[in-house]
A and B are shown apart, each in its own frame.
Chain A
């Protein structure tokens, strides 16, 4: 502030500028105070566990802590030939402790992720080790099963030495780090995850495309019809939107099964023979059909809300200037609907890429997505760190799409109902 202008003071004698800033700060604080409960609730219960997944996915301390002496003894091992007696002895001592604490089962599961075949030889070791004599553990352990004499298995144990590892992420794209520290692909017949990622993207893409192709004409009709008809037709879009996802999936299961309504109809019109009914469920087809119908309202509603704002006189003007209906549609109407297309497509794509329920119920083996694999590892193999790793990889993909969505449409513009 220059010395010539006189400072404006409030009645309290405080400079106005300071006083205004103070009020502004207080208002900011008040606004933040209102948001704070929800924000902190979400940060604690939701956001921090998601970051916790990041930790879970690289956390490998379970094996490291289970075999402390073994890993100390292994430091001197070059990894070429079988480890020395020292390592075997240390391993025996660690293993005995694990058996006493009944933690050997967890170890065998973990080591089995690293190399198949650990489960059975650890079970055998558990049984036989009770009658072990003191000294010469190398020979005694190797006599339990020939695989204990295979250097590959000891290398597998050594690979699990670091407390943190990114191996789960490599596994998620069918790769692993070999003995020389290079990333290599797993054998051809055991590559499953890459195929699953590709399938997830493919199904999400095609479902989005089908939704677009079907939603565009009906959104246009809804936006151009007089209110009293369009309100009635809108129910056809809104009723499925509000109906339980499981109810809609159930109805598709009834329709698509071999003795189902669709097959009955096709047989009745003579399209397929009675003994050659189509298999439309428990495969990819089922996933496509059911997901398209279930996600269709999410495409129709944003398209409709954009089309509603386009003045019909624009199309009339185009026609009066000599454009054929097709040209006017393509040059005038269609470009105006692009924001709606973008919003609807991204919304459907984001929802489709993480879909779980419908693929699990109607998808069978060939129609399941990456989410189904995550749930499988959470519930059945209990490889939670792998489930976390895959979940985070999926999340990064979704957030990338979300970021594009935000740039194009803005999250404030999400419309509901």
Chain B
């Protein structure tokens, strides 16, 4: 963004002000995440940057909160992590299967009432979580599924499907349907065609939808707050309780791990996006 030499001074000033404003906004976006790192290595029990840490005194840093997270006797993080992964994995599988199949139907040009059906399928994303929470709670309580893993998984499938539907329909928008017709004309049955031809081509969209569904489930608090019993506690629920009651540095250790996890997800999502753009580019 180098300015040409002939730029007048007041535009020059304006340009640097603009860059400065942008810098501030980027700082505002990303900096809060980085306060968590140093504090999670705090040797003290307080959530403030101690004088020792400012002097970079090695004694002021320790791994005690990480040890506490893993080995702590009263700590529920082990169970919470197990539940979180269990629920998120099954919710993702459910959402991906239902969402992908629905997206295939939606992208067909024969699909009747496309608008209203799309609006219905996307609705869990638009309706505020608190309302979805209340409605799903009423249903699960009546169905006897409150405080069960099944109930929470079903609820998270609801929340995850819109993402899969959106990403897969987007991938299918550049899909060349003559390849499936070619496969059919060569004698392949529809299931075989889907597995061998369609799925590999739309895979980036499916996986990125799965990532969204996984993260949505893994990060979801509101509905689990209504549905969970003591055995169904998840990482977000534990964090929520911790943040409301007493902020302990153990939470920050967990938060650091979660930030690392989201970095992985971000990298995966970026790679997939580029791949899917490339595939769509070829087809166009």
Whether A321 is near chain B, meaning CB under 8 Å from some CB there, is no
Residues of A within 8 A of B26 (CB): 218, 233, 236
Q: In the complex, A214→B25 CA distance in Å?
A: 6
Nearest-CB distance from B143 to chain A (Å)?
9
Task: Tell me which residues from 97 to 117 in chain B have a Cβ below 8 Å from any Cβ of chain A.
Answer: 98-99, 101-102, 104-106, 108, 110-112, 117
Task: Decide: B138 and A246 in contact? CB cutoff 8 A.
Answer: no
| Bound CA–CA A411/B119 (angstroms) | 7
**B108 neighbours in A (Cβ, 8 Å):** 27, 30-31, 34
Within the complex, what minimum Cβ distance (angstroms) separates A364 from chain B? 12
Residue of B18, B49, B157, B236 touching A264 (CB-CB under 8 A): B49
The complex places the Cα of A41 from the Cα of B159 at a distance, in Å, of 12
Interface residue A217 (Cβ < 8 Å from any Cβ of B) = yes
Please give, as numbers and ranges, the residues of chain A lying within 8 Å of B225 by CB-CB distance. Answer: 375, 379
A53→B130 contact, CB < 8 A: no
Given A239-B262, A374-B134, A395-B131, do A28 and B110 touch, yes or no (CB 8 Å)? Answer: yes
- For B120, what are the chain A residues with a Cβ–Cβ distance below 8 Å? 39, 42-43, 47
B63 within 8 A of partner (CB): no
Within the complex, the shortest CB–CB distance from A216 to chain B, in Å, comes to 10
- Please judge, given known A-B contacts A251-B255, A259-B48, whether A39 and B121 are in contact too, CB under 8 Å: yes
* B238 and chain A: residue at smallest CB distance: A246
Report how far A42 CA is from B95 CA in the complex, Å: 11
Chain A residues, CB < 8 A from B106: 31, 35
- Contact between A245 and B104, CB atoms less than 8 A apart: no
Q: Across the interface, do A416 and B134 meet the contact criterion of CB distance under 8 Å? A: no
Interchain CA distance A56-B219 in the complex, whole Å: 29
- Known: A35-B102, A45-B154, A354-B131. Is A217-B266 also a contact (CB below 8 A)? no
Known interface pairs A45-B136, A45-B154, A238-B266. Does A248 touch B208 (Cβ–Cβ under 8 Å)? no
Task: For A46, give its contact among B48, B132, B243 (CB under 8 Å).
Answer: B132
From A214, which residue of chain B is reached at the shortest CB distance? B25
Measured in the bound complex, the distance between the Cα atoms of B124 and A48 in whole Å is 13
Q: B130 → chain A, closest Cβ, in Å? A: 4
Cβ of B80 to closest chain A Cβ, rounded Å: 12
Q: A interface, by DSSP: helix, strand, loop or mixed?
A: helix
Q: Which residues of A contact B98 (CB under 8 A)?
A: 37-38, 41
Whether B222 is near chain A, meaning CB under 8 Å from some CB there, is yes
> Max chain B CB contacts within 10 Å: which of A215, A387, A417?
A417
B112 contacts which of A32, A325, A379 (Cβ < 8 Å)? A32
Instruction: Tell whether B182 is near chain A: CB-to-CB under 8 Å.
Output: no
Give per-residue flags for B68-110: 1 if the beta carbon is below 8 A from chain A beta carbons, else 0.
0000000000000000000000000000001101101110101
Interface residues on B, range: 35 or more
CB contacts between A and B, total, < 8 Å: 270
Residue of A nearest to B155 (CB): A45
Q: Which residues of B contact A53 (CB under 8 A)?
A: 131, 134-135, 138
Query: Would B102 and A39 count as touching, CB distance under 8 A?
Result: yes
Q: Mark A393-408, 1 if CB is under 8 A from B, else 0.
A: 0110011001000100
Q: Report if A73 contacts B (CB, 8 A).
A: no
Asked if A247 lies at the interface with its beta carbon under 8 angstroms from chain B, I say yes
Contact present for B136 and A49 (CB under 8 Å) = yes
Of A237, A254, A297, A387, most buried by chain B (CB within 10 Å of CB) is: A254
Is B9 an interface residue when CB atoms closer than 8 A count as contact?
Answer: no
B29 at the interface (CB under 8 A from A): yes
**Residue in chain A with minimal CB distance to B163:** A416
Chain B residues, CB < 8 A from A251: 32-33, 35-36, 255
Give the CA-CA distance A275 to B137 in the complex, in Å: 47
State whether the Cβ of B210 lies closer than 8 Å to any Cβ in chain A.
no
Q: Kindly provide the distance from the CB of A89 to the nearest chain B CB, expressed in whole angstroms.
A: 37
User: Roughly how many angstroms separate A211 CA and B266 CA in the complex, as a whole number?
Assistant: 22
Task: Report the separation of the CA atoms of residues A247 and B251 in the bound assembly, to the nearest whole angstrom.
Answer: 9
Q: Mark B247-273, 1 if CB is under 8 A from A, else 0.
A: 100011001001100110110011001
The answer to the question of B226 belonging to the interface, with a C-beta cut-off of 8 Å to chain A, is: yes
Q: Report if A293-B32 is in contact (Cβ < 8 Å); known contacts: A247-B255, A253-B247, A264-B48.
A: yes
6 A-B residue pairs with CB within 8 Å? A49-B136, A236-B26, A244-B236, A350-B126, A354-B127, A378-B134
Q: A237-B29, A239-B266 are known; give 13 further A-B pairs, CB within 8 A.
A: A27-B110, A31-B112, A34-B104, A35-B121, A38-B101, A42-B121, A43-B120, A236-B30, A238-B269, A238-B270, A244-B255, A264-B48, A296-B25
Task: Please report A residues at the B interface, Cβ cutoff 8 Å.
Answer: 24, 27-28, 30-39, 41-43, 45-50, 52-53, 56, 214-215, 217-218, 221, 224-225, 233, 235-240, 242-255, 257, 259-261, 264, 293, 296-297, 325, 350, 353-357, 360-361, 371, 374-375, 378-379, 384, 387-388, 391-392, 394-395, 398-399, 402, 406, 411-412, 414-417
